[in-house]
Structure 1
């Protein structure tokens, strides 16, 4: 289950990114003479509070502030076109932060391809006890209509989430409940069908995904017990595949005079039962329980922090009735050094861990998965990194980093071949769905970014990443780019008019040819692509914003996944209304 960090800012509404705003630290009451003056005010909840609980780091560690993994989505209202910046989310266009004065918002947009997008976010305090209740409804759908596509390429996705929480002087708690429903079509058929005059009326490409999820979190500001998160998700599709996942993660810390001792525990269980695959009439089942312990000790002062620890994960696995247990030990070492305070910081470390791969998460990354594939965790034996970040000038910041990572059972998407001899084919068995293949992969990565901030008038972000891969069994990684570049420009013309332009480039990618491994590289090249998106907005009042968004403006009909062409030029227009009930 994902955590939902919701923001009512214009940028979040336009780019569908989640905001990770850091919480302000509580101010300590100061005594005057022998008297103590206590100032008490009612806690004002926001959507960020309702759907996210943040950790307050002791110092500005790189491991806390490191950039999120780059994510692409094929759907950019509705089919790809959005390339997320390497820093994890777009900078805010609306520098006036009008949303902070309003607890609630509503958004509606409509575009070509019969695209409909709607959002409603509400959060209100309850009484005077710092309690809050919130809800978020999100919907996006498209009627499809990609050129030269023979099957239905429409889709829709709706989410509804509720939350209830309270923030107290010594602790805070939060509970969540939600549901999701979505529809997609396996429209990416092989090119051979066009030659053989294949009868597409035989194919029903529709797939439906659904889930219900609940979660709870409790955080204490005093004592050794720091936090506990628990969440459960039940996920199923239209082919009777189903999955249950439960995660509980308690955290402990002990503050000592010059260091802090941490003990992080986690139990992550997933049980997946796939559909009858129609080939051997068997139902594939997988279950994995990952038990992890990550003890560490952190030393710090004003000029450095050093965390020394190790991680241990025991995997109790069962794949199609066969037990597959293993023990993974990995480093947890992180160091940060303020070479020039507030100007230059160096950081390095060696970390690892086990990623629990689930049907729900993988279908969220690639909804064109077949409802039957091999499922197992990915083990990161080590990820060694070193970098430097800081300021070149008061409005110019940078970050450069190098990583060397070693992974076992790295999951990669690959198209399932078309089997002409298979009788009674399902809608995903026409060479139009994806499975997974696994390999041991080492990755060397170079990453860099520059960020310019011209006093809120304009912001410019540049980022780039280069990857070099080495595999044990295959020639190439599949559906993973060799390089990525992103340029983002945000500009406020006036207090009412603003614009945002984003250009993303994704480098060479490969698809497995299906041929036996040999010294010849005969894998299919998917090619690189770039994507240009522009948003223009106008705020006639503090509560209303009118926007127009152009996506894939270069009309690049590239393949986001093998055989899956994205929509061409897209235009979406709409409005946002911010309001309070009180």
Structure 2
């Protein structure tokens, strides 16, 4: 019997996107736990085939003594890499779906502020038993909080995603294709505080911004021979201010198996072309283009109790900023090591890695939808990221992971509020001191991370994690909008086979906002957020739930000048089904 290793993520909260800026907040509040389990099963198509959740494991090579082949999840889904086995946010609503799994689901919820959440996920086998087709629709919208303290502008928002996929799994390979689209709208509602004491005419501001994209992709994986994998993707992104962006990525991977070593060679071509809106100052549209060409050769030595991968990466970046060439050659390490100190109980790991991150308008707007459509774009170079840690089990139901890492990044992109210029003519809706630009600096980060996960069988699960960050910068006094610490606590408790509750508490530490060079940098206070879900399963297929978010009713600042909604209540139901 072959054994396959999988990292399982503890699901934190169903309502991952909360009102306005709070929808981004939960990305930092998710409790993540990892545990290695052995699973064997036959193939059956599920939503995870169609829409795999991206995850960045600490160690890419969990399987120390064997080549990666087909990896099975507890949902009997073959995948090519470690990922979180959850069907979107739906799995967090219905914990029992982990045990009573259906291929398809529909979810609908409604809450105060006229918040509407809907999801529909369908995947079916077609033709041969190993071919599948799937679709996933997700919608979240809110009319906003009309009584939000210190907010005069419209703060409603909405976001909808529709994705389709077609794929097939065979014994020695698998392939998939994807097509999708996204539409969203937000409002730049976070104006400066002095507007409220100067009788500012808010009626003159139109804060609405709309985003959209279409994206296609394909991937092919081969489990025999030197050719391992190839993935290609294209995204076209635009906004309501005539900004537009194209991004194309092609990434083939090869490996050669030797008796006691494996040689890996990874390539990637990442092309970005962005044209921003008319900035209203000189009536110019700023244009950026970057082509990052990367190669990462390495050789891996492995045995039963260890694996060591030695390699290096090289990226040549050909850029053009507003017509001016910006080329760079970056060399970085790619070294990873894993050691089973006590088999199946204690594992130590360490490494030195690096790379070049393409900062795209689409990614930045996803991270902060209140960004201005006139950003300065340049890649971030991670010269090295050194890490070392240890993970394992303290008891059969208690696992842990501790890690320390130190990394240095050149041209790290950090958000900062754009200052209001009263003398600027023909102002756009984002030019009232209510949108974010970018500051780049060399940032060194020392991080300490630790997590504990308790698993009391089917009765309860508890996960707690914490992270401390110390930043040092070269050109400025502080790092901006980067928290000094994070703490996440998640508790899932099954009272009976039908009743359950899921609580999660997130804490984000102090951050800084750029003072503009003439005044001291502004300290953004820490905040915490408490969410609670209570669910009832009248049948194996139906789950009804009631979720309270931001239960402490704290209108904290997720971003500078952007308060989040207070207490939110959302109720709804989920139906799981097979055709």
TM over 0.5: yes
- Higher deviation after alignment, 192-201 or 94-103: 94-103
Where in structure 2 are the equivalents of 1:492-507 lying within 5 Å? 492-507=494-509
Shift of residue 281, structure 1, vs aligned partner: 1.2
Where in structure 2 are the equivalents of 1:358-373 lying within 5 Å? 358-373=360-375
Shift of residue 522, structure 1, vs aligned partner: 1.4
With over 3 angstroms needed to count, the CA separation of the structure-2 counterparts of 1:471 and 1:59, relative to structure 1, is closer
The 3-state SS of whatever aligns with 1:360 is: helix
Q: What corresponds to 2:528 in structure 1?
A: 530
Q: What are structure 1's unaligned runs of at least 5 residues?
A: 1-6, 28-40, 66-83
Where in structure 2 are the equivalents of 1:272-287 lying within 5 Å? 272-287=274-289
Q: What corresponds to 1:137 in structure 2?
A: 137
With over 3 angstroms needed to count, the CA separation of the structure-2 counterparts of 1:274 and 1:24, relative to structure 1, is farther
The 3-state SS of whatever aligns with 1:272 is: strand
With over 3 angstroms needed to count, the CA separation of the structure-2 counterparts of 1:498 and 1:344, relative to structure 1, is same
The 3-state SS of whatever aligns with 1:97 is: helix
The 3-state SS of whatever aligns with 1:96 is: helix
Cα pair 1:380 1:407 within 8 Å, conserved: yes
Give TM-score scaled by structure 2 length: 0.88
Q: What are structure 2's unaligned runs of at least 5 residues?
A: 1-7, 18-26, 69-83
Where in structure 2 are the equivalents of 1:261-300 lying within 5 Å? 261-300=263-302
Where in structure 2 are the equivalents of 1:2-13 lying within 5 Å? none
1:305 pairs with 304, 307, 313, which one?
Answer: 307
Where in structure 2 are the equivalents of 1:106-185 lying within 5 Å? 106-145=106-145, 146-185=148-187
Q: What corresponds to 1:562 in structure 2?
A: 560
Deviations 1:112-152 (A, max 9, x none): 11100000000000023411000001000000013331000
Cα pair 2:233 2:248 within 8 Å, conserved: yes
Counterpart Cα distance in 1 of 2:219 and 2:180? 15
Give TM-score scaled by structure 1 length: 0.87
Q: What corresponds to 2:434 in structure 1?
A: 432
The 3-state SS of whatever aligns with 1:363 is: helix
Aligned length: 534
Counterpart Cα distance in 1 of 2:217 and 2:466? 36
1:479 pairs with 473, 476, 481, which one?
Answer: 481
Counterpart Cα distance in 1 of 2:36 and 2:234? 26
Deviations 1:335-370 (A, max 9, x none): 011111111111111000000000000000000011
2:513 pairs with 499, 503, 511, which one?
Answer: 511
Cα pair 1:93 1:492 within 8 Å, conserved: no
Cα pair 1:532 1:552 within 8 Å, conserved: yes
Q: What corresponds to 2:105 in structure 1?
A: 105
With over 3 angstroms needed to count, the CA separation of the structure-2 counterparts of 1:136 and 1:89, relative to structure 1, is closer
Counterpart Cα distance in 2 of 1:99 and 1:351? 38
Cα pair 1:23 1:54 within 8 Å, conserved: no
Where in structure 2 are the equivalents of 1:161-560 lying within 5 Å? 161-516=163-518, 522-560=520-558
Cα pair 2:64 2:304 within 8 Å, conserved: no
With over 3 angstroms needed to count, the CA separation of the structure-2 counterparts of 1:14 and 1:509, relative to structure 1, is closer
Q: What corresponds to 1:580 in structure 2?
A: 578
Shift of residue 159, structure 1, vs aligned partner: 0.3
With over 3 angstroms needed to count, the CA separation of the structure-2 counterparts of 1:53 and 1:523, relative to structure 1, is closer
The 3-state SS of whatever aligns with 2:96 is: coil
Counterpart Cα distance in 2 of 1:99 and 1:155? 35
Shift of residue 257, structure 1, vs aligned partner: 1.2
Report the aligned-residue RMSD: 2.8
Deviations 1:303-331 (A, max 9, x none): 11100000000000000000010000000
Deviations 1:395-446 (A, max 9, x none): 1111111101000000000000000001110000000000001000100001
With over 3 angstroms needed to count, the CA separation of the structure-2 counterparts of 1:266 and 1:285, relative to structure 1, is same
With over 3 angstroms needed to count, the CA separation of the structure-2 counterparts of 1:247 and 1:122, relative to structure 1, is same
Deviations 1:171-230 (A, max 9, x none): 110000000000000000001110110001100000000000000000011110000000
Q: What corresponds to 2:22 in structure 1?
A: none
With over 3 angstroms needed to count, the CA separation of the structure-2 counterparts of 1:455 and 1:341, relative to structure 1, is same
Counterpart Cα distance in 2 of 1:460 and 1:299? 36
Shift of residue 462, structure 1, vs aligned partner: 1.1
Shift of residue 90, structure 1, vs aligned partner: 12
Cα pair 2:50 2:133 within 8 Å, conserved: yes
Cα pair 2:385 2:407 within 8 Å, conserved: yes
Counterpart Cα distance in 1 of 2:567 and 2:371? 26
- Higher deviation after alignment, 251-260 or 241-250: 251-260
Counterpart Cα distance in 1 of 2:61 and 2:485? 34
With over 3 angstroms needed to count, the CA separation of the structure-2 counterparts of 1:23 and 1:268, relative to structure 1, is farther
Cα pair 1:98 1:542 within 8 Å, conserved: no
Q: What corresponds to 1:33 in structure 2?
A: none
With over 3 angstroms needed to count, the CA separation of the structure-2 counterparts of 1:93 and 1:206, relative to structure 1, is closer
